Amino acid sequence: MDSMQASVDIHCHIMPGVDDGSRDMDTSIKMLKIAEKNGITDIILTPHHKPMHHNVSPEHNKVYKDRLQNAADKVGIKVRLYSGNEIYYSDETQRELENGKICTLAGSDYVLVEFHPTNPFSAINNAVYQVQGAGFIPVIAHVERYSDIVSHPAYVEELIDKGCYIQVNASSIMGKYGWGIKSFVKKLLKNRRVHFVATDAHDTGRRAPELADCRSYVERKYGREYANRIFFDNPMSIIRGEII
Ligand SMILES: [Fe+2]
């Protein structure tokens, strides 16, 4: 049997009690155990940051992250945690980023940005421009969720040309969101347009932090080298604050 390859998750909702992800410390610990079993060695915690939502400040994000890390250390879980946010893009985003009100991914210049599924590409495009204007590098969260992009795959190309990075959810690759989404992400993988595969985990059940099956699938279909890049090397570059 192959020894499991290390993976790094840049998108998950494991921080307890702050959003619609893990509801308490107990759940978070269970999620971390699942992550560890999946070969995940490093996790960027990305609670939702959105308008009309009680957002965790960067100061609290660090406190809660450290608290979870301590609890994990205590039960022998060997996963390293980092602060982050999943930013639901709004008119406030640029100003909030400039004023340090939002966590970037592990303190890097990369930020994880999401949109409403029915946002037109023009809105996504404008958002990218605003985020870059504030001096940050957009990572597009679960690109397969945006209907306008799914029906116009060339838009992914455009985003990459503009300097964006592309994240897809492992569950979408594994077909949990249906055939249409799966065939879209397969096309992206085939053309090497995916920079990150992440869990977007919310719980210990249907949305658990699982990557191992997806990783072996990607290795089998698209090669070990590319799999290693999108499950480990690229995420690690973010954590180390390096250029991808
Ligand atoms: Fe998410």
Tell me the CATH number at 91: 3.20.20.140
Number of structural domains (the chain) is 1
Q: Is the pLDDT of residue 45 over 80?
A: yes
Ligand 1 center to 11 CA (angstroms): 6
Whether residue 2 is contained in a domain is answered as: no
Q: Percent of the chain beyond pLDDT 70?
A: 99
Ligand 1 center to 138 CA (angstroms): 15
Question: At CA 94, angle to CA 88 and CA 97, rounded to 5?
Answer: 85
Ligand 1 center to 171 CA (angstroms): 12
- At 128-169, the pLDDT tens digits run 999 999 999 999 999 999 999 999 999 999 999 999 999 999
Q: Is the pLDDT of residue 38 over 80?
A: yes
Ligand 1 center to 49 CA (angstroms): 10
Q: Is the pLDDT of residue 1 over 70?
A: no
Whether residue 140 is contained in a domain is answered as: yes
Cα 123 to Cα 98: distance, rounded to the nearest angstrom: 20
Mean local confidence (pLDDT), 17-44? 98
Ligand 1 center to 86 CA (angstroms): 6
Mean local confidence (pLDDT), 94-98? 97
Q: Percent of the chain beyond pLDDT 90?
A: 96
Diameter of the chain by CA atoms?
51
Whether residue 244 is contained in a domain is answered as: no
Ligand 1 center to 47 CA (angstroms): 7
Full residue range of the structural domain in which residue 91 is found: 7-239
Q: What is the CA radius of gyration of the chain?
A: 17
Ligand 1 center to 200 CA (angstroms): 5
Ligand 1 center to 1 CA (angstroms): 32
Ligand 1 center to 162 CA (angstroms): 23
Whether residue 100 is contained in a domain is answered as: yes
Ligand 1 center to 4 CA (angstroms): 25
- At 167-208, the pLDDT tens digits run 999 999 999 999 999 999 999 999 999 999 999 999 999 999
Q: Work out the mean pLDDT of the chain and round it to a whole number.
A: 97
Ligand 1 center to 142 CA (angstroms): 8
What values do phi and psi take at 110, rounded to 5? -85, 140
Question: At CA 94, angle to CA 115 and CA 238, rounded to 5?
Answer: 75
Ligand 1 center to 2 CA (angstroms): 30
pLDDT bucket at 52, cuts 50 / 70 / 90: confident
Q: Is the pLDDT of residue 42 over 50?
A: yes
pLDDT bucket at 92, cuts 50 / 70 / 90: very high
Q: Which helix (H) or strand (E) holds 165?
A: strand 165-169
User: Measuring CA to CA, which residue among 35, 46, 36 is closest to residue 10?
Assistant: 46
Ligand 1 center to 12 CA (angstroms): 6
- At 3-15, the pLDDT tens digits run 689 999 999 999 9
Whether residue 47 is contained in a domain is answered as: yes
Ligand 1 center to 243 CA (angstroms): 23
Whether residue 1 is contained in a domain is answered as: no
Ligand 1 center to 114 CA (angstroms): 8
